[in-house]
Chain A
Amino acid sequence: MLKQDGQSDTSELRPEKKSNRRFRFLPGDAMIIGMIVVFCIVFWAGFFIYQKTTDKKVRYVRITQDGSVTMEIPMDKFTEPTEFYLPGKYGDVVIYISSEEVYIKESECTDKICVKTGALKKIGDGAVCLPCRVVVQIVGGKGDSGNVSGSSDFGEVDAVAK
């Protein structure tokens, strides 16, 4: 209810005792705040633990030839190191696989870049034999889209120019 001069006549609406509406911090309030804080901490702790555990993926070795996946097996199955002979365009491509590492041991290609790439150990590592069109990758699961940098153990780099 506004008067023309802009002053409001709200005296009737005002509570009789203003002091009755002042907030008082009661023990119950502390409990509520405490519960919210605990809830947040528990939730975020759970969230981070979940993230950490899902990050520890099983490493799969994936071998692709001519664009088709010919093998995709968890690395921990290779308790006994194994050598695979993959018939390539220029002869066999020999791939060494153990539960720890994978590498192209031999290739009949001319440049041997795939052999020089060395051991692949972590998810995302890959070696490429371009002439034989063979890609060896370590991926995080079946069907997981791995990437091939053709390089391994370069530390914290986002990409490698070569």
Chain B
Amino acid sequence: MRMVKYPRMSKRKICCFMMACMLVVSSVFLSACGKKEKTVSQTLFALDTFVTVTIRGQEAQEAFDQASKVLQELEETLSRTKEGSEIDSLNHSSEEAPVALSQGTYTVLQSALSWSEKTGGVFDPTIGPVMDVWGFGSDAKRVPDEEEIQTALEHVSYTKIHLLSDSRAYVEPDTIVDLGGVAKGYIADVLMSTILEYKVSRVILDLGGNVCAFDASKELVIGVISPSDLSLLAAKVNVSSKKKDEVVSVITSGAYERYIEVDGVHYGHIMDTKTGKPVETDLLSATVLTHDGKEGDILSTVLFALGSEKAVELAKKENIACILIGQDGTMWVNEDWKESVHAEAGWTIRYF
């Protein structure tokens, strides 16, 4: 070791050492600051249910604040009970005095009417009067008599809604449009696109059990509740929604949450639009997996109301990804979702 050379080398080493230190320190700072993603998770009471919004990301709070505003606006626009809402105005419209709707409401109505036609009225956004006589949506749930049901049914038909050009529409006298069967799915879609305009990496929206999810980094596992025991799951579904245009909605319809029980008889809230009484179905629940929340909301109701045989037929024809849970313990799942849907113990899975 020559003393002459050492100082020349040590300069380089000092430089290297300093660079290494800077690298370590900057990596530490980057990891500490870069991961400063905040998680906001809040539950709001809206749409007559609890809405839980969970957002992770650098702009989680800003995204949540904006989503809350949008939720409030949409609730006021789509509610039929709030005076002055678009749907309230529509229900008071006539051929002579049609109302101008926002593009969003008009699109929801278009979608609802399209599926009403396709399903021959199994889904009908004018079912409101029937729901009213049963007391669903109010505190006075009861079993109405036949006469009341028939009177209510006279006003039920999706053909009484007329969509005009320029986002205008009107309804025939005494028709009540109620978008309860589609609003949550649509609102979830709008909330999600609002939130995704911010720097966020994970969003889970739970609108009273309707799930809409996005995660940029990993595959999500969505549980489907067991309709026969609400403390258990019937299935787990692996979904990938890593891109903003791949957001997945998982929407379930069933008669196990909203119902009336009188003298031991269980009356579910999903009505047969022909009889005005709860649908008679061999299904306990129908879950739809979709990228379009509003369609998913409609289709889960339709599939549930149709019963297993017709539901499977429609799902095949329209290529609907779904999980149908039957009263006999059978679970029907699309062949395409074989790898993603995992039934819990006690259910017999059948692919179609």
Binding site for B on A (CB under 8 A): 20-21, 23-24, 26, 28-29, 32, 36, 39-40, 43, 67, 89, 110-111, 113, 116-118, 126, 128, 130-131, 133, 135, 137, 145-162
Q: Is the CB of A161 within 8 A of B52?
A: no
Q: Can you name the residue of chain A whose Cβ is closest to the Cβ of B39?
A: A145
Does B242 belong to the interface (CB within 8 Å)? no
Q: How far is the CB of B272 from chain A (nearest CB, A)?
A: 21
Partner of B260, one of A110, A128, A135, A137: A110
B159: interface (CB < 8 Å) = no
B230 touches A117 (CB 8 A): yes
Beyond A110-B141, A162-B209, A162-B254, 18 additional pairs, beta carbon < 8 A: A23-B9, A36-B17, A43-B24, A43-B28, A137-B43, A146-B41, A146-B43, A147-B206, A149-B206, A154-B233, A158-B220, A158-B221, A159-B213, A160-B209, A160-B224, A161-B211, A162-B230, A162-B257
Pairwise interchain contact B13-A161, C-beta atoms closer than 8 A: no
Q: Is the CB of B13 within 8 A of A130?
A: no
Q: Knowing A39-B24, A40-B24, A118-B231 are in contact, say whether A157-B221 is a contact too (CB < 8 A).
A: yes
Q: Which residues of A contact B126 (CB under 8 A)?
A: none
Contact B9 A24 (CB under 8 A): yes
Say whether, besides A36-B21, A110-B141, A158 and B50 are in contact (CB < 8 Å).
Answer: no
- State whether B259 touches A111 (Cβ < 8 A): yes
Contact with A along B203-232 (1 / 0, CB 8 A): 010100111010100001111110001110
Q: Which residue of A lies closest to B219 (CB)?
A: A158
User: B232-265: which have CB < 8 Å to A?
Assistant: 233, 236, 250-252, 254, 257-261
Q: Is the CB of B224 within 8 A of A149?
A: no
In the complex, which of the residues B9, B21, B49, B222 contacts A157, with contact meaning CB atoms closer than 8 Å? B222
Q: How far is the CB of A89 from chain B (nearest CB, A)?
A: 8
Distance A131 CA – B136 CA, assembled complex (angstroms)? 12
Question: Chain B: interface secondary structure?
Answer: strand
Instruction: Report how many A-B pairs have Cβ atoms within 8 Å.
Output: 119
Expressed in whole angstroms, the Cα–Cα distance for A162 and B287 within the complex equals 8
Contacts of A26 in B (CB 8 A): 1, 9
Q: In the complex, are the beta carbons of B206 and A159 less than 8 A apart?
A: yes
Which residues of A sit under 8 angstroms from B213, Cβ to Cβ?
A: 158-159
What is the CA–CA distance of A131 and B137 in the complex, to the nearest angstrom?
11
| Beta-carbon contact of B224 and A161 below 8 Å | yes
Interface pair A161/B230, CB less than 8 Å apart: no
The answer, yes or no, to whether B42 is at the interface (CB within 8 Å) is: yes
Q: A39-B24, A110-B261, A148-B43 are in contact. Are A161 and B54 (CB under 8 A)?
A: no
Q: For chain B, residues 1 to 16, give those with C-beta under 8 angstroms from any C-beta of chain A.
A: 1, 5, 8-9, 12-13
**Which of A133, A159, A160 counts the most chain B CB atoms within 10 A?**
A159
Main DSSP-derived SS at the A contact region: loop
- Residues of A within 8 Å of B52, CB to CB, are 147-149
| Contacts A161-B250, A162-B252; A29 near B13 (Cβ below 8 A) | yes
CA distance A145 to B229 in the complex (A): 28
A136 to chain B, nearest CB (A): 11
Selected A-B contacts with CB under 8 Å, 21 pairs = A29-B13, A32-B13, A111-B259, A113-B230, A113-B257, A116-B229, A147-B41, A147-B42, A150-B50, A158-B221, A158-B222, A159-B206, A159-B211, A159-B222, A161-B210, A161-B211, A161-B225, A161-B251, A161-B287, A162-B252, A162-B254
The distance in angstroms between the C-alpha atoms of A128 and B45, with both chains bound, is 11
B252 in contact with A20 (CB, 8 Å): no
Contacts of B43 in A (CB 8 A): 126, 135, 137, 146-148
Does B45 contact A160, Cβ atoms closer than 8 Å? no
B102 to chain A, nearest CB (A): 27
- A48 CA to B20 CA in the complex, in Å? 22
Quick one: given A67-B45, A118-B231, A157-B233, are A135 and B50 in contact (CB under 8 Å)?
yes
- Chain B minimum-CB-distance residue to A152: B231
Minimum Cβ distance to chain A for residue B52 (Å): 5
Docked-complex contact B5 and A160, CB < 8 angstroms: no
Residues in B neighbouring A155, C-beta threshold 8 A? 233
- A161 contacts B42, CB within 8 Å? no
The 4 closest A-B pairs by CB, nearest first: A162-B225, A162-B209, A157-B223, A147-B41
Contacts A113-B230, A145-B42, A147-B54: A161 and B257 contacting too (C-beta < 8 A)?
no
The CA-CA distance from A16 to B49 in the complex, in Å, is 84
- Residues of A contacting B9 in the complex (Cβ-Cβ under 8 angstroms): 23-24, 26
